[in-house]
Structure 1
Amino acid sequence: MTKLSFHLLFCSIFYALVLLLSRPAVSQEVDNESGFNYNEDGNKGPSHWGELKQEWHECKTGKMQSPIDLSHQRVQIVHKFVDSKIAYNPTNATLMNRGHDIMLKWSDDAGYIEINGTRYFLKQCHWHSPSEHTINGEKFALEAHLVHQSHNGNIAVIGILYDIGHSDYFLSTIKEHLEEISETNEYIELNDIDPSLVEMKSSIYYQYYGSLTVPPCTQNVLWIIVKKVRSVASYQLELLRVAVHDDSNTNARPVQPLNNRIIQLRFRSQHNEKEH
């Protein structure tokens, strides 16, 4: 091999590694979930996720996995207010069926949350039923995840818990699209979807560090679970499940060991934002 050929080969490998290592962490959450499922009795269920692919090993070996039980006996109350801000924008989005959940993926200008000076930009929202996180062992009917990413690749997820009750306004605004994706489409392009309509503003929330709850179960994710439980109509919950086209009655990963992690109950200053 000539020196020139060796140099070109070295450069090709180097740039390939740079591209691989520079991939944002949030992009690692799989868009096509056909490679795994939630059937505990099958060989693709949650207890086997870490064995299905080498890059999913953290699902089995990770010590900071999500979801967890938010037990009040373990919660550390932090009385100091956290400086935070929510600044979302209506923008175009794609409603997508990923195989085991429905995801709403916004374009790049959907806005951000800011926590202690760090901005995490909204990327997507998806739903799990029943809830993945529990409070003192109690499951809820539904859990929404709003996934955000900072410019340096850190992930923050806002989790919202729902009980059966009156209808959720945001889900009512995309009802026809959920029906459409259930009948004919795997994805639908939508215009001017306003993420601020998701009822997630609250002055009290749980916070801890965990992981994505689907493969590859990437860790060091900042979790913010809104303490106030919202409500969702039973028909809305059924619509989310019917639209998925799978044979499971759940898409919730079981609760994972806490492993001495700290769960905080925090209070945030809201910059004059009104709670729903």
Structure 2
Amino acid sequence: MDLKAKTISVFAIFFFFLSSFPNNLHAHDLEVDDETPFTYEHTEKGPEGWGKIDPHWRICNTGKFQSPIDLTNQRVSLINYGAWSRQYQPALASLKNRGHDIMVSWKGDAGKITIRQKEFKLVQCHWHSPSEHTVNGTRYDMELHMVHQSDRGKLAVIGVLFKLGQPNKFLTKLLNGIKAIGKEEINIGIVNPHDIIRFQTRKFYRYIGSLTVPPCTEGVIWTVVKRVNTISAEQIAALRNAVHDGFETNSRPVQNTHSRTVWYYDPNV
């Protein structure tokens, strides 16, 4: 079997497997907006105890497809076919402090990504510091999550890693708003998603995981871009200072892979 045929076979299994997860997400399946019951600190309300706080969060402790994970070279399968495509466009957006993170939410149609002919509409993006995913054990300074949802309720998230360096241009535009944001959602006008990840994204990791905050819903298609972008110390500080106490470092520890397959895409292989 040649590489292309093998890849098609692998992804047929991939989407058949994915269909076993619930199609229609309910309110309690989505990322929680009220962060009061949980924290990232080492207490009974911390990551190790999330599954005991709310019955709807039980999978945080019992699930076999939890995120984030360590993306190690020893566990990846190389594939160079049938990756994805992005069709983003500028749309109205708002900035919101959810307490546990800062979120940009699109109010209009900001476009979509397509993975193996499945379309996922861009809904929002937010930041975690330090990064949640690690690469060969290395944890970076920040991670951006771009959250997409299909018409049938499936979720697909793009993860972008950041290291300390030059300021991120997208965050530079939002910096004053982040520093001044309170409890009220702020209208930030037209935001072009292409401004977030303008760099080349052809090399990336993909696997099936979960939301990284309660309720830790599984069946999420994760795409973590290999290229590491840069972010300034001022931008990291602004995001950490804006969130509530206990969420300054809002990264969930890496989870057990339970022998999951992680695909790595490199068009040059």
Q: Residue in 2 aligned with 1:8?
A: none
Percent identity between matched residues is 43
Structure 1 window deviating more from structure 2 (22-31 vs 244-253): it is 22-31
Of 6, 29, 34, 2:36 maps to: 34
* Matched residue type, 1:118: K
Q: Residue in 1 aligned with 2:196?
A: 198
CA distance in 1, matches of 2:107, 2:148: 12
Tell me if the contact between 2:39 and 2:246 (Cα under 8 Å) persists in the aligned partners: no
Structure 1 window deviating more from structure 2 (106-115 vs 146-155): it is 106-115
Structure 1 residue 177: deviation in Å? 1.0
Q: Residue in 1 aligned with 2:110?
A: 110
* Matched residue type, 1:188: I
Partner deviation per Cα, 1:67-118 (whole Å, 9 max, x = no partner): 0000111111113x22522111211112111111111111140110111211
Q: Residue in 2 aligned with 1:238?
A: 237
Q: Alpha carbons of 1:150 and 1:201: their partners in 2 closer, same or farther (altered >3 Å)?
A: farther
Query: Partner of 1:35: helix, strand, or coil?
Result: coil
* Alpha-carbon RMSD: 1.8
- Is 2:73 aligned against 1:72? yes
Structure 1 residue 176: deviation in Å? 1.5
**Divergent runs of 4+, >4 A:** 21-27
Query: Partner of 1:174: helix, strand, or coil?
Result: helix
* Matched residue type, 1:197: D
Tell me if the contact between 2:86 and 2:113 (Cα under 8 Å) persists in the aligned partners: yes
Tell me if the contact between 2:241 and 2:248 (Cα under 8 Å) persists in the aligned partners: no
| Structure 1 stretches lacking a partner, 5+ long | 1-20, 270-276
Q: Residue in 1 aligned with 2:258?
A: 259
CA distance in 1, matches of 2:204, 2:27: 24
CA distance in 1, matches of 2:188, 2:35: 22
Q: Residue in 2 aligned with 1:187?
A: 185
Structure 1 length normalisation: TM-score? 0.84
CA distance in 2, matches of 1:130, 1:26: 26
Q: Residue in 2 aligned with 1:149?
A: 149
Q: Which has the larger radius of gyration?
A: 1
Task: Give the 5 Å matches for 1:203-218.
Answer: 203-218=202-217
Query: Partner of 2:135: helix, strand, or coil?
Result: coil
Structure 2 length normalisation: TM-score? 0.86
Q: Residue in 2 aligned with 1:135?
A: 135
CA distance in 2, matches of 1:75, 1:146: 22
Q: Residue in 2 aligned with 1:10?
A: none
Q: Residue in 2 aligned with 1:98?
A: 98
